[in-house]
Structure 1
Amino acid sequence: MRIVITGGAGFIGSNLARTLSEHPEITQIRVIDNLSTGSKENLLGLDVHFIEGDIQDAALLDQAFHGADAIVHLAALPSVPRSVKDPLASHHANATGTLQVLEAARRAGNLHVIAASSSSVYGANPRLLKHEDLTTAPMSPYAVTKLATEAYLGAYHHSYGLPVLPFRFFNVYGPGQRADHPYAAVIPKWISATLTGQPVTVHGDGTQARDFTYVGTACRVLKDALLRRVVEPRPVNLAFGTRLALLDLIPAIEAATGFRARREHIATRVGDVLHSQADGTRLRALFPTAEPVPIREGLMATVDWLGTSIAGAHRQRVH
């Protein structure tokens, strides 16, 4: 089985490449990445065919998709704040980029396409739990681009018979997620700050909650979807309803690191969703054996990975 991963040098993509490389049915892994947010270092030691380029290059996609069996489309410009700052860049990379991938998949013989959407599409809809049939209410340009991504997958399934599966990711975290850039996700950012004695910056009062999903769990579901060729044109939440308030995340990080976090509250970010918690009913129907990694276990693995690149800081031990 030959798999193409767009955005495969990024956080989730490189973890997926590692997961797939351990399975004997996967005979070839091709990675497309323009390295705007990913890094070739993430793929060190993996037997992958790396293609440097952009998903908006139709000829490059045709070359990469030739002879493939399935595509996992993860390439995107992530981050809500980034999209607020530059909405056109997010639209071109995420919405137009997805359209290019789907067209190339169609030209290659209607390949199976699994793609990443986001829980951010629920936006201002206050209802918990978030089930996939809720009205979407995007609060940021990024959320709009992800809604376009999953809508295009559904449209190509119904218009052209393309076998598709759009996943709504919920706050994926774990080893390989960088903390050293302006749009870093909350878990690596806070772990890094705690390990180095820097303040943990909390946007707003910290009562906002997230449904954190360990990257290994997400990759195992993606692998299962590929091997069983799971097709579902409706979006599927890839999360398990494990809601955690950010204020409760801080002591969990302190326990995982062994160091005390210094808190600093700052202004609420534009486009931030207040509460996020998945209804996993559809996920469990399609993937009945999928089980989440507990937050404590996931944080420990993330701390171990981040800690290898963080040293020499003065830290205050939790007593």
Structure 2
Amino acid sequence: MREITNYTILITGGAGFIGSNLCEYFLSRGNRVICLDNFATGHRHNLKDCFSNSNFTLIEGDIRNYEDCQKALQGVDYVLHQAALGSVPRSIKDPITTNDVNVSGFLNMLQAATEAQVKRFVYAASSSTYGDSVGLPKVEEVIGKPLSPYAITKYVNELYAEIFSKTYGIETIGLRYFNVFGQKQDPNGAYAAVIPKFVMQLMKHESITINGDGNYSRDFTYIDNVIQMNELAMATDNITAVNTVYNTAFGDRNTLNDLVAYLKYYLKVYDPAIANVTVIHGPNRLGDIPHSLASIDKAKELLGYNPKYSLQEGLKIAVDWYWNNLK
């Protein structure tokens, strides 16, 4: 397994939550990092610690524009493709834009990366690909039918990556992210992720609404586990480990009720009144998967993955960051 240092890495969507954390990490490891972002959902303030590094380059562009993709890929060794329009509800409201970004944009990047002869194309896949599959834990080779336009787009990414690997010889690895959380995750907007949204509401003493009875469960995955998986996907020299997909998770599940209880517990250290904030239960959300739990055996065996942070361990760090940066 090679050490990932002194390479040129393109991170698409690098101003987003996951992308900006990846930018910071790989700069700290002595790499040259190029960030391609159109700031549709990302933020410049996520990159504030990168701008002072001479090895960092920001290209403001759109993966739907093929010339932008080609420009960003000049001299690149590895691609970490994070750019996408996330959110199941957003995709249900606007499937056309979701498809344009997540499918057409993905294909642009994959084609341009093939032409640029990059060493490897690592991309953000999604646990939504499991769809209506009811078996737990989720195993990479067993998926169901997608439950949203977003899920369809992320599955199409996997199909395109597989075809490009077989047809054009580009090495690809897809990482099926499971409910990633951590510092820099945006708490604002209609499609904000549940953890930062709940944190903001709790800090303001606003009642929070859980979709359903709160017994839906998720494999919440702290950002540092995701960074580890991206690095392992780039670094592996095991030829049997490439041109496939991996669950990127902790390998445990917690209900939404559990999540809220943990958030209150860690936040009340800063403000005891948070323990008494009201929780409301609303209707289940269209397109939601009831339960999500990943098998991480494949990643452990082929990549040497060893996640360090459980939900509770990650929340301790994340809540501290939220309190000091978002209040």
Alignment TM-score > 0.5, same fold: yes
Aligned-partner residue type, residue 254 of structure 1? K
CA contact (8 A) 2:225 2:250 kept: no
Q: Deviations over 1:156-178 (max 9, x none)?
A: 00111110001100000000001
* Maintained 8 Å contact 1:121/1:147: yes
Q: Is the 8 A contact 2:81 2:122 kept in 1?
A: yes
Q: Any conservation in 2 of the 1:171–1:213 contact (CA below 8 Å)? A: yes
Relative to 1, partners in 2 of residues 1:225 and 1:235: Cα closer, same or farther, differing over 3 Å?
A: closer
Q: CA deviation at 1:294?
A: 2.1
Counterpart position of 1:279: 295
The runs of 4+ residues in structure 1 deviating greater than 4 Å are none
Task: Quote the sequence identity (%).
Answer: 36
Query: How do 1:197-208 and structure 2 match up within 5 A?
Result: 197-208=205-216
SS at match of 2:244: coil
- Alignment correspondent of 2:4: none
- Alignment match, 2:33: 29
- In the alignment, the residues of structure 1 paired with residue 155 and residue 172 of structure 2 have an alpha-carbon distance, to the nearest angstrom, of 15
User: Aligned-pair RMSD on alpha carbons?
Assistant: 1.3
Q: Deviations over 1:4-45 (max 9, x none)?
A: 000000000000011111113x2x100000000001111112
Structure 1 residues without counterparts, runs of 5 or longer: 312-319
**Quick check: 2:250–2:309 contact (8 Å CA) kept in 1?**
no
Match of 2:248 in 1: 238
Which of 19, 26, 29 in structure 2 is aligned with 1:20? 26
- What's the counterpart of residue 314 of structure 1? none
What CA distance in whole angstroms lies between the structure 2 residues aligned with 1:78 and 1:310? 22
* One of 64, 88, 102 as aligned partner of 1:94: 102
What is the alpha-carbon distance in structure 2 between the residues aligned to residue 71 and residue 310 of structure 1?
A: 31
Q: How far apart are the structure 1 equivalents of 2:237 and 2:209?
A: 42
The answer on whether the counterparts of 1:123 and 1:137 sit within 8 Å (CA) in structure 2 is: yes
TM-score, length basis structure 1: 0.94
Instruction: Report 1:32-111 matches (<5 A).
Output: 32-46=36-50, 47=53, 48-111=56-119
After TM superposition, give the deviation of residue 57 of structure 1 in Å. 1.3
Indicate the residue corresponding to 1:8 in structure 2.
Answer: 14
Stretches of structure 2 lacking an aligned partner (at least 5 in a row): 1-6, 269-273
Shift in Å at residue 198 of structure 1? 0.7
| Counterpart for residue 127 of structure 1 | 135
State the one-letter code of the partner of 1:87: P
**Paired residue secondary structure (1:165):** strand
Deviations 1:221-251 (A, max 9, x none): 2123223366522211011321111111111
Q: Distance in 2 between matches of 1:37 and 1:240?
A: 26
Contact 1:256 1:296 in 2 (8 A): no
Aligned mate of 1:290, from 306, 310, 313: 306
